[in-house]
Amino acid sequence: MIALFGGLIVAGAALAATWFTRRTIRARYESDELPRDYPIEGAEPVSLDNGARGVLILHGFGDTPQSVRALATDLHANGWTVRAPLLRGHGSTLSAFTAARAEDWLSDARTALDELRSRTTHVAVIGQSMGGALAIILASELRFDVMVLLTPFVRLSRKGARIAAFHRVISLVVPYLRSRSDSSILDPEARRRALGRGVMTPRLAHELSVIVDQAWRAARQIQSPTLVINSRQDPRITVPDAESAFARLGSGEKTLKWATKSGHVLSVDFDCDWVASEIGNWLESHVARV
């Protein structure tokens, strides 16, 4: 009887802790003043027209087009029509992010690509982190003139894989997970400007795993010339995993380069100018001037 009573107390405490965690995090990250899918200020999609050469830029998981806006502006100034869509649930309320699914993100990427192809005669695709995984999937469906992958996320860590696999059970005890790491962006000023929520759910970890697994399978089918830039200080992707992912790409023309001063989000970190220059040179050398 005593054991049963003790068990009930423990269970009640766990439920109370879960309720408190949900309420606390929602109070921090939600805003009743915002509609369900309203983008936060600065997270709006990028749409810049400048001729018949087009480039699609896909942001990472939990991030927004703010993380690639400077790169988009630089490419636009150098003669590119640029699109950087806001993927479903990103840059919005926590409820909207939680409701988003892997197929939504793929659908948004495909829609943006179709719109860009309707306006341009040459198309390049740039993907960062999960955006790199989305780019690989798109490239397996349709060949581009050229592709660039920045720290492409195509392998989950062991911890991430376990969370994704058991997300239903984990959600009962830990409804929210911290997804932000200070070492993802080493530049403190760039980190301060970042608009990512920094929080996710176990279910979202599962949705991310769906994209990652699909990209891993699709990598062998890639035919487009591909530039990959990784970081040796990336807290999310180890050097062996980055090299393994690069080796898996089926493209006959592929190049791997390493950033040395940045974390995971290369487009805004200390190496951002060098990254933009490498991307610009790669695109110019593979896409004819129109």
**What are 11-58's pLDDT values in tens digits?**
555 555 555 555 555 555 444 444 444 568 889 999 999 999 999 999
The reported pLDDT for the residue numbered 61 is: 96
pTM: 0.88
The 3-state DSSP class for residue 127 equals strand
Q: Is the pLDDT of residue 156 over 50?
A: yes
Who has greater pLDDT, 142 or 10? 142
pLDDT tens, 212-262?
Answer: 999 999 999 999 999 999 999 999 999 999 999 999 999 889 999 999 999
Report residue 113: phi and psi, to 5°. -65, -45
The reported pLDDT for the residue numbered 34 is: 41
The reported pLDDT for the residue numbered 288 is: 74
Q: Is the pLDDT of residue 173 over 70?
A: yes
The reported pLDDT for the residue numbered 29 is: 47
Cα gap 113→87, rounded to integer Å: 13
Domains of the chain, residue spans: 31-286
Cα gap 110→105, rounded to integer Å: 9
Instruction: Please state which CATH class domain 31-286 belongs to.
Output: alpha beta
CB 260 within 8 A of CB 234: no
pLDDT tens, 46-70?
Answer: 999 999 999 999 999 999 999 999 9
The residue among 85, 139, 66, 71 whose CA lies nearest residue 280 is 71
pLDDT tier at 135 (50, 70, 90 boundaries)?
very high
In angstroms, the Cα distances linking 24 to 19, 151, 176 are 9, 32, 10
